[in-house]
């Protein structure tokens, strides 16, 4: 009877812990807070499996513990790696003007790359160079101004 009560307390504590961690995962302002909460949920699941195994004497659940330990690690590392490349303007939904600016910047970058992939671009010594140079300079200046404007917007949004 006492053992049943003790295991019931343990299961309830672990279940409440997992629920509380899931609340943090839902609230978490950033992706990394959710990863931290996911680690806690993984630890709670490990503890729950250990409790069930200890109560029922099922030793076939022990390999599940090994697999859970490895899988939890892989998931959090992958998400942390993904969050490392998260730009500030990707953390929220863009407005129409911002989306247009981002698309224009991508267009400028692809224009900049185009002569590299064209083998017929510089067949003459003076003709193509005289035509291509100003375009590339324009694109670079445009991309730089877009960068500055996007940074300014991100800072204003953060405050």
Partner 1 sequence: MSLTDIADIAGMVLLVLGSTLTLVAAIAVLRFQDLLSRMHAATKPQVLGLTLMMAGLALSVRNPVVVWTLVLVVAFQLITAPISAHMVGRAGYRTGKVNSEALVVDELTQDLEASENLSDEEVERRIAVLDRDLARSDGARPDDGRPHDGRHDATGPGGL
Q: Which residues bind partner 1 (CB under 8 A)?
A: 3, 6-7, 9-11, 13-14, 16-18, 20-21, 23-24, 27, 30, 32-33, 35-37, 39-40, 43-44, 46-47, 50-51, 53-54, 57, 59, 62-63, 65-66, 69-70, 72-73, 76-77, 80-81, 83-84, 86, 88
CB of 132 to partner 1, least distance (A): 28
CA distance 63 to 141: 59
At 5, list the tokens. 């009560």
By C-beta, is 39 or 135 nearer to partner 1? 39
Smallest distance from partner 1 to CB 152, Å: 16
Q: Tell me if 30 sits within 8 A of 83, measured CB to CB.
A: yes
3-state secondary structure of 79: helix
Nearer to partner 1, 41 or 108 (CB): 41
CB 138 → partner 1: shortest distance, Å?
Answer: 27
CB 129 within 8 Å of CB 120: no
* Cβ within 8 Å of residue 102, ≥6 positions away: 89, 94, 146, 150
């Amino acid at each position: 009877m006492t053992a049943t009560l003790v295991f019931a307390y343990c299961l309830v504590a672990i279940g409440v812990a997992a629920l509380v961690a899931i609340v943090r995962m839902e609230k978490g302002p950033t992706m990394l807070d959710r990863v931290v909460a996911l680690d806690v949920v993984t630890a709670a699941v490990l503890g729950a499996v250990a409790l069930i195994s200890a109560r029922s004497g099922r030793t076939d659940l022990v390999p599940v513990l090994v697999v859970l330990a490895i899988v939890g690690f892989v998931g959090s590392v992958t998400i942390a790696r993904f969050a490392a490349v998260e730009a500030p303007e990707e953390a929220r939904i863009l407005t129409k003007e911002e989306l247009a600016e981002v698309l224009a910047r991508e267009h400028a970058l692809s224009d900049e790359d185009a002569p590299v992939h064209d083998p017929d671009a510089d067949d003459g010594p003076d003709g193509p160079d005289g035509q291509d140079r100003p375009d590339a300079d324009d694109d670079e200046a445009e991309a730089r101004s877009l960068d500055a404007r996007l940074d300014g917007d991100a800072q204003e949004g953060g405050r």
